[in-house]
Amino acid sequence: MKQIVELTINGDPQSLAVEGHRSLLDTLREEAGLTGTKKGCDVGDCGACTVIVDGQPVNACLMLAVEAQGRNVETVEGMQQSIDILHPLQDAFMRHGASQCGFCTPGILMMARKLIEENPDPSDDEIRFGLSGNICRCTGYTKIFDAVRSAAAEIRAVRA
Ligand code: FES
Ligand code: FES
């Protein structure tokens, strides 16, 4: 039996009919049509499904959609600053070749955005630690870390 969940996704109020056992991940992808958030393991191990809920990173595969009632959910689709302006992290990932198959990329972008918001000048160790819950099966970690470091510097320069 479905129930109505009212939540905000990337700033848009949404009302979705979901079954009680449905994960937020499946609901975002299949009910809201937001397929940017990826399903890797579906058990909380890989971080591919990372979204931001009320300002905190969450593995969307581990959260029921009904738990998102009344909450503010941000996905990778909401990162772009406008139709033709990428978020500095997205731009840096492109410039540094930090995305190979790209499956891990949305989750890493969301986690990296949160990391930089909380720590605008992260050390290499802090970037590694901050992204330690996000697995890249293509193992392109060096370029990912380079991109995060570059985006953080760019954001600091804009704000200076
Ligand atoms: Fe959610 Fe892997 S799909 S942590
Ligand atoms: Fe392929 Fe990370 S780029 S999983």
> Which CATH number goes with the domain that contains 45?
3.10.20.30
When the pLDDT of each residue in the chain is averaged and rounded to a whole number, the result is 97
Statement to judge: residues 101 and 60 lie in one domain: no
* 117 CA → ligand 2 middle, Å: 23
Query: What's the predicted TM-score (pTM) here?
Result: 0.96
Interface predicted TM-score (ipTM) over 0.90: yes
Does residue 32 or residue 159 have the better pLDDT? 32
Residue 17, strand partner residues: 4
Where does a domain end: 43, 78, 113?
78
Residue 47 within any structural domain of the chain: yes
pLDDT at 1: 87
* Residue 125 structure tokens: 């160790």
| Band of pLDDT at residue 156, cut at 50, 70 and 90 | very high
Which residues in the chain belong to E strands, given as ranges? Answer: 2-9, 12-19, 50-53, 56-59, 72-74
What is the tens place of the pLDDT at every residue in 108-137?
999 999 999 999 999 999 999 999 999 999
Secondary structure class of 147 (helix, strand, coil): helix
- How many angstroms separate the Cα of 70 from the Cα of each of 27, 56, 58, 73? 15, 15, 16, 10
Tell me how many domains the chain contains: 2
Ligand 1 lining (C-beta closer than 6 Å): 39-42, 44-49, 59, 61
Residue 11 within any structural domain of the chain: yes
Residues 141-154 have a mean pLDDT of: 98
Counting ligands in written order, which one lies closest to the CA of residue 49?
Answer: 1
Residue 83 within any structural domain of the chain: no
| Residue range of the domain that includes 62 | 2-78
CATH number of the domain residue 103 falls in = 1.10.150.120
